Amino acid sequence: MSIEIQNISKSFGSFSALKNISIKIENGELISLLGPSGSGKTTLLRVIAGMESPDPNPDSHVLFFGEDVANKPVGDRKVGFVFQHYALFKHMSVFENIAFGLRVRPRSQRPSENAIRDKVHSLLSLIQLEGFGTRFPKQLSGGQRQRVALARALAIEPQVLLLDEPFGALDAKVRKGLRDWLRGLHNELNTTTILVTHDQEEALEVSDRVVVMNQAKIEQVGAPDDVFHHPASEFVIDFLGNVNVFHGRVNQGQAVLENIQVGASDISIPAGEKANVYVRPNDISIDRVPTGKSSIAAKVTRINRAGVHAKITLMLHNQEEIRVDITMEHLLELNLQLEDLVFVHPNKARVFVPDYTI
Amino acid sequence: MMKKRSTASLPGFRITMGYTLFYLSLIVLIPLAALFLKAATMDGAEFYATITSKRVLAAYRLTFGASFIAACINTVFGAVVAWSIVRYRFVGRQLLDAIIDLPFAMPTAVSGIALMAIYGPNGLIGKHLIPYGIKTAISPLGIVIALTFIGLPFVVRTLQPALEELDGEAEQAAASLGASRWQTFWRIIVPSLLPSLLTGFTLAFARALGEYGSVVFVAGNLPMKTEIASLLIISKLDDADVPGASAIAAVMLVATLLILLSVQGIQWWSQRRTGRA
């Protein structure tokens, strides 16, 4: 099911939740809407579902397979919606929760009691909760409840599955398990799926494409490795994982920090413009001695060995802190101690010149 | 499910439980026991004759019947009132919210006089209905009106918190699954409110059973027709027939207790069934 969003805006009073959003979602794709809270990602999902109507505008459309669904209420859009807090029907058993979408159909389209039972049982086995049909939501764990909510949404054989922070209320371990399970399920069913999340790791791990949103706008759309390695804006690089920021100036088309030159800018920008230089913690090397003219002196202030990589915090002489990740082997080799004076060297940097337009 | 509540950080089970039992005994159980003792001064046949006399039976029927009808009316319309107060924001909402409590706060005799002024034979509304053969006072209908009046706040106040806690997302989920508004209302909203509706109904019913003050003004108190059990008890006491009054009261007490217990039982069963106990 391909979905096209064209020029959608949505405001609540004076607050703008979506500003002129356009995006095309391919059939069978698992796409994430990623952004901080208040970025408009949930509003966009609810507009697609038909739970919010966009601001009136003759040029704005929501198309399902090329058909404008503006006048279709949520119940007619055949969307499976999964909420962060499950929204299960507490007074109904797991079986009845899943069967609900089938039972409320008009009599002429309603499956027989036997057909409903078969459908529910096949969904129960899909979510690995066979034998849980007679339980009530209160008797299930959070992860189990969310799987029931997913089965309930799938029961109506939706054209598109909309997931609103489905794992947000679960603890880290369960979240990770369910995320992998969801990806497997998607590969099996191939239902077009839109996942809203504020967790960049989750988005980068499960999606075919990621839509990074900020302040009611789309910052970047791309495959996970694309947005991670080629971030289109400062916001994207900052939001997708830890990053060090240095503030420098442009000189001869290059960013200059302190007295060293890093990462060439693509465009020729007048000298003297402010330049922000972003370097990921694993793109910085630490040496005991200066290496060429691009090393910066720094003092080790913290060493954290808990993890796959050692996380080193250092202080530059201008009191700015930086974070560097190095392998455990390298840490042993260097024999780093607190207060040691070392030299850091950015290997790969992204330079953004704020407010600069050609 | 936990078998036992976890130990509270504050000690005091013994002292609070001890106080509870002492207090309940002093205020509730001992006076009620005295009632049975008084009734027991009659012998069995005498007791039976008192509580099955035609006049007493008619009073029981009227009391329980009118209370039941009033509680049913309150459950439906109290739910509508609670719904509009919780779900909508309108001018005068807080005033309306405060007015709900008036039947709680007013002396019941005042309610009786007020009701009579409206529904009595010369009342604002009552006098226009008499030509159609509808008697809104000095009739069982008048009693139902009075009992509805005094029972309303019980249903509204019980339902309000339940409505506020209603899961709006569950309604949206139902809509996304293709349920119509009507289906969402009957299959999702009403069942979620059922425990509170039942509690509200029970409270309104129990309150109506015990009502005396307002009813005596509007009922007309005609034996066999509009005489409620409480009034019969008073008239027995006026005749210095204390055992007779106690006998009627004891039957009321037992019946009421059975009704309250069975409603409690239904609540307990439904909560256990859905894992909410």
Domains and CATH numbers, chain B: 49-273 (1.10.3720.10)
Region class of A82: left (phi > 0), else alpha (psi between -120 and 50), else beta: beta
pLDDT, tens digit, 9 for 90 and up, residues A70-118: 888 888 899 999 999 999 999 999 999 999 999 999 999 999 999 999 9
pLDDT, tens digit, 9 for 90 and up, residues A29-42: 999 999 999 899 99
| Amino acid, single-letter form, for residue B34 | A
Asked if residue A206 lies in contact with residue A15, where contact means CB atoms within 8 angstroms, the answer is no
What pLDDT is recorded for position B127?
Answer: 86
Asked if residue A249 lies in contact with residue A226, where contact means CB atoms within 8 angstroms, the answer is no
Q: What is the pTM of this model?
A: 0.80
Where b means 16+ CB within 10 Å and e means fewer, A48-61 reads bbbbbebeeeeebb
pLDDT, tens digit, 9 for 90 and up, residues A338-352: 999 999 888 888 888
Given an 8 Å threshold on Cβ–Cβ distance, is A74 in contact with B175? yes
A329 or B12, which is more confident: A329
Q: What is the mean pLDDT of residues B226-248?
A: 89
In chain B, residues with a C-beta closer than 8 Å to the C-beta of A155 are: 177
Q: List all residues 6 or more positions away from A299 whose beta carbon is below 8 Å from its beta carbon.
A: A314, A315, A339, A340, A341, A342
Q: How many Cβ atoms sit within 10 Å of the Cβ of residue A244? A: 20
Given an 8 Å threshold on Cβ–Cβ distance, is A152 in contact with B188? no
Size of interface A-B (CB pairs under 8 A): 79
ipTM of the complex: 0.82
Q: Is A300 helix (H, G, I), strand (E, B) or coil?
A: strand
Q: Which of B170, B192, B275 sits opposite A138 (nearest CB)?
A: B275
What pLDDT is recorded for position A27?
Answer: 92
In chain A, residues with a C-beta closer than 8 Å to the C-beta of B187 are: 89, 100, 104
Asked if residue B274 lies in contact with residue A140, where contact means CB atoms within 8 angstroms, the answer is no
% of chain A at pLDDT higher than 70: 92
Instruction: Scan residues 203-242 of A and list those with Cβ closer than 8 Å to B.
Output: none
Tokens at A65, concatenated: 């397979």
Which of A51, A53, A78, A91 is the best substitution to test chain B (most B C-beta atoms within 10 A)? Answer: A91
What pLDDT is recorded for position B152?
Answer: 93
* pLDDT of B225 over the 80 cut: yes
Q: What is the mean pLDDT of residues A235-251?
A: 86
What pLDDT is recorded for position B4?
Answer: 52
Residue with tokens 């096209």: A4
* pLDDT of A172 over the 90 cut: no
HEC string for A134-177: CCCHHHCCHHHHHHHHHHHHHCCCCCEEEEECCCCCCCHHHHHH
Q: What is the mean pLDDT of residues A236-249?
A: 87
Q: Which of A51, A87, A105 sits opposite B178 (nearest CB)?
A: A105
